[in-house]
């Protein structure tokens, strides 16, 4: 059995900076996950998303969390939840059993790590130098089991919104 879904992973970027004399950081996210076939019994991965960082700080971090947007119940934080395809989570949604993970890559100037999404910020990149337009590949991974529900209603998808936060330390 293959669970077919077209999850919409929206990337919301928060940029943190201090007073004029303090270090600054600017982050952006490019790429998307338009269609992702979820296969039971495996960890499904997507590597089409990139994080871009520019900062004058020698120490910095980027963290991620589940935004729990549009009245998504807090009890489902970190997990993909059934969305009606247009504007809302369904009243009694299907919910994938495992939390999504986001992994940053270690590149020159930054050390990557993996975070299992929840409602709390978790660091996926730790910077060790000032950088300009540093591109960092990201991996989104979703474990799907045979007990996860297959979506059968047309246009319904599994959805999660991920918030990225940059901090100049």
Residue 99, domain member (yes or no): yes
CA distance 101 to 121: 13
Residue 16's pLDDT band (boundaries 50, 70, 90)?
low
pLDDT, residue 8, reads: 39
pLDDT, residue 161, reads: 92
Q: Which domain holds residue 79?
A: 8-168
Residue 77, domain member (yes or no): yes
CA distance 166 to 24: 9
Total tally of structural domains belonging to the chain: 1
**Does residue 51 have a pLDDT over 90?**
yes
Residue 29, domain member (yes or no): yes
pLDDT in tens, 60-108: 999 999 998 878 888 999 999 999 988 899 999 999 999 999 999 999 9
pLDDT, residue 17, reads: 46
Inter-CA distances, 54 with 24, 26, 107, 108, 123, Å: 8, 5, 14, 13, 17
**Does residue 110 have a pLDDT over 90?**
yes
81 backbone dihedrals φ, ψ, rounded to 5°: -125, 150
Inter-CA distances, 100 with 24, 76, 116, 154, 165, Å: 29, 11, 6, 23, 17
Residue 135, domain member (yes or no): yes
Degrees (nearest 5) of the Cα angle 49, 34, 80? 85
Residue 21's pLDDT band (boundaries 50, 70, 90)?
low
- Determine contact, residues 72/80, Cβ cutoff 8 Å: no
Degrees (nearest 5) of the Cα angle 90, 7, 148? 70
Residue 148, domain member (yes or no): yes
CA distance 64 to 78: 10
Residue 55, domain member (yes or no): yes
pLDDT, residue 130, reads: 96
């Amino acid at each position: 059995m293959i669970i077919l879904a077209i999850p919409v992973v929206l990337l919301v970027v928060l940029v943190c900076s201090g007073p004029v004399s303090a270090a600054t950081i600017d982050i952006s996210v490019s790429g998307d996950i338009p269609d992702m076939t979820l296969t039971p019994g495996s960890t499904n991965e997507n590597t089409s998303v990139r994080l871009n960082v520019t900062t004058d700080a020698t120490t910095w971090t980027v963290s991620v969390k589940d935004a729990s947007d549009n009245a998504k119940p807090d009890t489902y934080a970190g997990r993909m939840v059934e969305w009606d395809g247009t504007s809302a989570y369904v009243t009694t949604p299907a919910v994938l059993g495992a939390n999504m993970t986001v992994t940053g890559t270690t590149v020159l100037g930054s050390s990557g790590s993996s975070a299992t999404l929840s409602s709390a910020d978790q660091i996926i990149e730790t910077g060790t130098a000032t950088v300009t337009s540093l591109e960092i590949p990201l991996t989104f991974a979703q474990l799907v089991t045979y007990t996860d529900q297959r979506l059968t209603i047309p246009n319904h998808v599994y959805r999660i919104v991920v918030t990225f936060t940059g901090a100049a330390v």
